[in-house]
């Protein structure tokens, strides 16, 4: 069904007609899927629908110039494009609508995302890369508007990297950087900051990126006059238009119902981006949205009668049909016959997709009803079991929720029974969850042989009398080894290039490795992160540097919605092992507090969060991450760059294990858990506490996500019977997460003789200056007195009260 390129080369008129008629068939198929899909939602077979009706022709034109190796980063209206590149069938369209959980049947997300969210598979079953240059590629869509834009920048930048670096093995990822990254976005979503940030960054970087704006004049029910200055995105972006004096964009404008003009426009856009590496904006105007925004409402509620009439007259498929008839491509009767045949095909495809979805559930329904029938005969509560079994059997189109919920309710009625039927029901419930829970929960993290849990520790080694150096030297020299041994590694961020980062951890590396691999970036955190995602999706190993932890809030939406969910929402079919490098802890001032760990922990499930206490540990984490295929956030200690550390002899190869805590001081009275810069204060206080005969055990968490995989903290608590968690985050932040991990997952409550406690920063952000830090975050005196008070409560005679 794939669309073929209409070119200016000599082909017969019959071949020319065949290409156009094939395009027409794809457009009509897509539209029929939209129409029937809406009906499936409104009749209750699907939960929600959002479709690409009205956008068919520009997507066909884009598909014609979309080549193997290219990448799409789009949004939920691009079904026609996916059909045109042979990556979406009728059956798959409806399988997505029904949320079919088999990745072979519903290859976009196995039901984890609503329909309209598209992806191609970049990975083999073992997690290794496919040859992306031999297939047409789509990065995995997400719903937040304009959120596809940051990764689009990185996808395009990868072509620039591959074109300019000769030492990288690029055979699976690029052919001399000739690939184009194609972005699509609705006109209303161009109001988002992520759109403007990406447009600016792409103009600066001069990368082969084509952004198509589908403009139907509305954003849900809100007209363009409320969205965009001058109601015209290409008009207000004219300042980006390239000229003879400098870099910029090529800006093209075309009507979305004009088939031949669309073909010409996209051929021009492709040539400019692919050959010249210049970004292009294609503003596709005068589009329609004949079904409204989604199945949640009707566009008749907010469009004028005049607009509705105009949309009928300018529907792109209707206009294409007029053009085909006027130019002798096809007769009206021929096209009418095609329409009727496609309606039949779509109805049949829908029927097949529904049968594939519902029949296994009906089989499970019948199996459970039979089991409950037997159970009801053996239970004293048989009448109640029979009643819920009948209720289940009467459902014509059950969900799996209906099936398993009925089984679990039935089990309640036979709590006191000891029968074979009850045992069978218990086993059935367990087997059901073992089968289906992974369908909804797998691949939050990598499940390949290269996952972080499989990367073994390599301890730092030292000479007999190691040189003491600034921590930044350890980082710098380790990065040097990483760049030397891994040609696909590159780093970029604010001040990362010329000056070697704000703390000199990359000093001299740009001069040594060039400004492609060690690069400065503008003050634009969201697209720095987006560069990382896109580059990683194309086989590179980017280190995206966010200058300070506080600034990561600018990139948090992209980290949370895109990077953290990528493996999960593609069921392991795409990966982006981005390393996000930043620095924080014990900073001063409201805007440089350096600890948002509680928020990050909960918003970034799917990304590892690593909190090394010194630069040797940080260097080991970077080495571990490069050996793995997972993304991570590494938070270096800002006040550790000038502290002296012994210089390891195995930089570049030492590895800090992820998910492992380290006992940095053994003790017998209380287990004290912390991380990052605060841990150094705890170590200082540990010495002071020895003066009053309190011997604490100090444990460095090192890795917040994952957390203490070997449950070593509870082993310490078994010895000390007391627990204090010290954290510079706000009350109830990371400390609450740590406490839950220790008490619930490690069952440490069984061994506690004292109440487990936390010592955190104040609820407000820290005030500025040394005194502001002292009165805002846990101080050495706070820690001493907190531990002493716990010991006083345990042994008041041995440890008299400090305060009466």
Q: DSSP readout, 632-683?
A: EEEEEEGGGTTSEEEPPS-TTT-BPPTT--EEEE--SSEEEEE-HHHHHHHH
User: For residue 586, what pLDDT is reported?
Assistant: 73
* CA–CA distance, 577 with 535 (Å, rounded to integer): 9
Q: pLDDT tens digits for 636-690?
A: 999 899 999 999 999 999 999 999 999 999 999 999 999 999 999 999 999 999 9
Mean pLDDT of 52-78: 97
Q: Give CA–CA dist 649/484, Å, rounded.
A: 16
- 620 and 660 Cβ atoms separated by less than 8 Å: no
Average pLDDT, stretch 471-482? 98
With a CB cutoff of 8 Å and minimum separation 6, the contacts of 678 are: 585, 586, 726, 727, 728, 777, 778
Confidence of residue 4 (pLDDT cuts 50, 70, 90): low
Average pLDDT over residues 180-199: 97
Report the alpha-carbon distance of residue 325 to residue 315 in Å, rounded.
16
pLDDT attached to residue 667: 98
pTM of the predicted model, to two decimals?
Answer: 0.96
| Contact present, 85 and 195 (Cβ < 8 Å) | no
**How far is 256 from 654, CA to CA, in rounded Å?**
56
The radius of gyration computed from the CA coordinates of the chain, to the nearest angstrom, equals: 30
Kindly state the average pLDDT of the residues 491-500. 96
The residue among 773 and 194 whose pLDDT is bigger is 194
Q: Please answer whether residues 100 and 108 qualify as being in contact, where contact means their C-beta atoms are separated by less than 8 angstroms.
A: no
pLDDT for residue 298? 85
Output DSSP code: residue 467: P
pLDDT at 341 over 70: yes
Compute how many other C-beta atoms are within 10 angstroms of the C-beta atom of residue 587.
21
- 100 noted as active-site residue: no
For the segment 6-27, the average pLDDT, to the nearest whole number, is 83
Mean pLDDT (whole number) for 79-88: 98
| pLDDT score, position 9 | 55
Q: What is the mean pLDDT of residues 423-433?
A: 97
Tokens 């050959």, located at residue: 275
Of residues 395, 390, 389, the one with CA closest to residue 372:
389
- Residues 139 and 696: their CA atoms lie apart, in Å, by 50
Residue 38, strand partner residues? none
The CA-based angle 745-747-749, given to 5 degrees, is 130
C-alpha–C-alpha distance, residues 768 and 515, integer Å: 36
- Output the average pLDDT for the chain: 95
CA-nearest of 563, 537, 532, 527 to 198 is 527
* 665 strand-pairing partners: 698
Which among 592, 602, 711, 792 is annotated as catalytic? 592
Lookup: tokens for 618: 């940080």
CA distance 509 to 515: 9
Report pLDDT for 109. Answer: 97
Helices (H), 85-236: 90-98, 148-164, 193-205, 233-236
Count the alpha carbons within 13 Å of 320 in the hemisphere toward its beta carbon.
29
Q: Looking up tokens 């409806």, which residue turns up? A: 94
Residue 744 confidence (pLDDT):
96
Residue 183: helix, strand or coil by DSSP? strand
DSSP-based three-state secondary structure for 516: coil
pLDDT band at 10 (very low <50, low <70, confident <90, very high): low
Mean pLDDT, rounded, for 31-36: 96
Which residues neighbour 62 within 8 Å (Cβ) at sequence distance 6 or greater?
A: 81, 182, 184, 210, 212, 266
Amino acid 293: pLDDT: 84
Residue 287's region, left for phi above 0, alpha for psi from -120 to 50, else beta, is: beta
Residue 206: Cβ within 10 Å count: 18
At 6, the pLDDT band (50, 70, 90 cuts) reads low
pLDDT at 300: 85
What is the distance between the alpha carbons of residues 88 and 96, in angstroms, rounded to a whole number?
10
Q: Is the peptide bond before 706 cis (omega within 30 degrees of 0)?
A: yes
Contact status, residue 149 vs residue 557, Cβ threshold 8 Å: no
Output DSSP code: residue 116: T
Phi, psi of 9 (to 5 degrees): -70, 160
Place of tokens 């060690």: 518
């Amino acid at each position: 069904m794939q669309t073929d390129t209409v070119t200016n080369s000599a082909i017969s008129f019959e071949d020319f007609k065949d290409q156009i008629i094939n395009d027409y068939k794809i457009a009509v198929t897509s539209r029929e899927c939209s129409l029937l899909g809406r009906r499936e939602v409104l009749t209750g077979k699907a939960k929600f629908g959002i479709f690409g009706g009205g956008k068919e022709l520009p997507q066909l034109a884009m598909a014609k110039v979309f080549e193997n190796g290219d990448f799409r980063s789009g949004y939920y209206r691009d079904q026609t494009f996916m059909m045109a590149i042979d990556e979406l069938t009728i059956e798959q369209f409806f399988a997505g609508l029904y949320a079919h959980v088999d990745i072979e049947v519903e290859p976009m997300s196995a039901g984890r995302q609503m329909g309209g969210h598209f992806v191609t598979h970049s990975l083999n079953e073992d997690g290794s890369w496919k040859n992306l240059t031999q297939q047409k590629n789509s990065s995995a869509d997400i719903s937040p508007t304009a959120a596809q834009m940051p990764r689009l920048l990185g996808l395009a930048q990868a072509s620039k990297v591959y074109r300019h670096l000769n030492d990288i093995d690029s055979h699976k990822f690029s052919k001399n950087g000739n690939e184009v990254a194609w972005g699509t976005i609705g006109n209303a979503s161009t109001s988002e900051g992520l759109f403007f940030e990406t447009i600016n960054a792409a103009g600066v970087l001069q990368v082969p990126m084509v952004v198509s704006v589908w403009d139907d004049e509305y954003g849900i029910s809100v007209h363009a006059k409320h969205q965009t200055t001058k109601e015209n995105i290409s008009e207000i972006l004219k300042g980006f238009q390239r000229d003879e004096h400098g870099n910029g964009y090529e800006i093209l404008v075309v009507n979305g119902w004009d088939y031949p003009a669309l073909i010409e426009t996209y051929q021009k856009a492709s040539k400019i981006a692919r050959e010249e590496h210049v970004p292009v904006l294609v503003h596709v105007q005068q589009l329609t949205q004949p079904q409204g925004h989604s199945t949640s409402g009707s566009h008749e509620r907010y469009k004028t009668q005049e607009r509705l009439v105009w949309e009928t007259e300018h529907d792109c498929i209707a206009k294409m049909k007029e053009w085909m008839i006027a130019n002798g491509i096809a007769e009206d009767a021929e096209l009418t016959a095609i329409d009727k045949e496609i309606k039949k095909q779509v109805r049949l495809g829908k029927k097949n997709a529904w049968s594939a979805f519902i029949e296994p559930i009906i089989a499970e329904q019948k199996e459970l009803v039979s089991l409950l029938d037997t159970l009801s005969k053996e239970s004293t509560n048989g009448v109640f079991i029979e009643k819920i079994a009948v209720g289940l059997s009467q459902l014509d189109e059950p969900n799996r929720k209906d099936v398993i919920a009925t089984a679990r309710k039935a089990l309640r009625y036979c709590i006191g029974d000891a029968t074979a039927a009850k045992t069978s029901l218990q086993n059935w419930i367990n087997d059901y969850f073992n089968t289906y829970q992974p369908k909804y929960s797998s691949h939050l993290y990598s499940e390949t042989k290269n996952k972080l849990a499989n990367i073994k520790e390599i301890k730092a080694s030292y000479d007999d009398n190691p040189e003491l150096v600034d921590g930044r030297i350890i980082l710098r020299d380790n990065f040097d080894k990483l760049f030397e041994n891994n040609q696909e590694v590159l780093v970029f961020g604010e001040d990362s290039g010329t000056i070697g980062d704000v703390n000199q951890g990359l000093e001299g590396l740009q001069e040594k490795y060039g400004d492609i691999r060690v690069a400065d970036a503008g003050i634009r955190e969201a697209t720095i992160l987006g560069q990382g995602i896109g580059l990683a999706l194309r086989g590179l190993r980017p280190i995206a540097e966010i200058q300070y932890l506080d600034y990561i809030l600018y990139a948090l939406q992209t980290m949370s919605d895109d990077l953290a969910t990528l493996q999960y929402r593609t069921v392991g079919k795409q990966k982006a092992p981005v390393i996000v490098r930043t620095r924080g802890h014990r900073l001063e001032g409201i805007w440089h507090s350096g600890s948002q760990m509680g928020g990050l922990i909960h918003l970034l499930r799917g990304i590892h969060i690593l909190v090394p206490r010194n630069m040797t540990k940080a260097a080991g984490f970077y080495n571990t991450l490069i050996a793995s295929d997972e993304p991570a956030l590494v938070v270096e200690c800002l006040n550790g760059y000038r502290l002296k550390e012994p210089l390891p002899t195995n930089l570049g190869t030492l590895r800090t294990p992820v998910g492992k805590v380290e006992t940095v001081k053994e003790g017998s009275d209380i287990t004290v858990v912390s991380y990052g810069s605060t841990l150094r204060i705890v170590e200082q206080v540990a010495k002071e506490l020895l003066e009053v005969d309190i011997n604490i055990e100090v444990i460095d968490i090192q890795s917040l996500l994952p957390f203490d995989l070997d449950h070593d903290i509870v082993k310490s608590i078994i010895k000390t019977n007391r627990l204090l968690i010290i954290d510079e985050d706000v009350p109830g932040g990371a400390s609450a997460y740590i406490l839950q991990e220790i008490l619930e997952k490690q069952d440490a409550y069984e061994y506690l003789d004292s109440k487990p406690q936390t010592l955190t920063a104040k609820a407000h952000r820290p005030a500025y200056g040394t005194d502001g830090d002292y009165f805002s975050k846990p101080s050495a005196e706070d820690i001493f007195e907190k531990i002493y008070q716990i010991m006083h409560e345990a042994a008041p005679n041995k440890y008299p009260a400090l305060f009466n």
